Amino acid sequence: MRTARKHSAKLARAKEHIIVSIADSIHILEDFNPKYIPDGVWRSLCKYWDTPEWKKLSASGTKNRNSSDGSGKTGRHTGGSIGMNEHRDRLRLMLVAAGGTNVA
């Protein structure tokens, strides 16, 4: 959806609309739906994106995407509710219990 909003902003700018911040220009983007999203669906999405609840979620997501962990890496994939290290340890225990001998 972020890509769709960027595309919509590009279409709006081509029609000489001034878009500084996409989040603050959703009302303009309503008239510039990407061709692959039906007009009624696009307008409903824009109305949702213009709510305080969505703006709060969006700001939080932006902050999380731009933050880094202690090693300077951004966005760690955890594979669900437990981390990848925990998945590896559980698999190792399961393989040992099943009689595996060369488990790294």
Q: What is the pLDDT of residues 32-84, one digit of tens each?
A: 999 999 999 999 999 999 999 998 988 888 887 777 766 766 665 655 677 78
Which residue range is the domain that position 47 belongs to? Answer: 1-65
Kindly report the length of the chain.
104
Cα(15)–Cα(64) distance, rounded to whole angstroms? Answer: 33
Domain count of the fold of the chain:
1
Residue 72 covered by a domain: no
So what's the pLDDT on residue 13? 93
So what's the pLDDT on residue 16? 93
Give residue 45's identity as a one-letter amino acid code: L
Residue 25 covered by a domain: yes
Phi, psi of 74 (to 5 degrees): -100, 150
Cβ-Cβ contacts under 8 Å for 87 (sequence gap 6 or more): 79
**pTM score:** 0.60
Question: pLDDT band for position 102 (50/70/90)?
Answer: low
Cα dihedral 29→31→32→38 (10° resolution) = 110
Between 69 and 99, the more confident residue is 99
Chain centroid to Cα 13, Å, comes to 24
